Amino acid sequence: MSVSTGASTTTTGFGDTFTRFKWNLFGNEGDGPAFALIPYAKWPTAPQGIGNRFVEGGLIAPLAVPLPAGFTAILMGEMDILKNPVDNNYHVNFPALININRTAGPAIRPSAFHFSSRVCTMPASTCRRVTQRGPSSV
Residue range 61-100, pLDDT digits in tens: 999 999 998 888 999 999 999 998 888 899 998 888 888 8
**DSSP state string for 44-62:** --SPBTTB-SS-EEEEEEE
What burial class does residue 124 get, using C-beta atoms within 10 Å of its C-beta: 0-12 exposed, 13-18 middle, 19+ buried? exposed
**Would you say residue 114 lies in a domain?**
yes
Of residues 60, 130, 132, 129, the one with CA closest to residue 99: 132
**Would you say residue 5 lies in a domain?**
no
**Would you say residue 31 lies in a domain?**
yes
Query: 46 lies in which domain range?
Result: 17-137
Q: How many domains does the chain have?
A: 1
**Would you say residue 7 lies in a domain?**
no
**Would you say residue 63 lies in a domain?**
yes
Residues β-bridged to residue 23:
37
Rounded distance, CA 109 to CA 10, Å? 37
**Would you say residue 12 lies in a domain?**
no
pTM of the model: 0.73
**Would you say residue 64 lies in a domain?**
yes
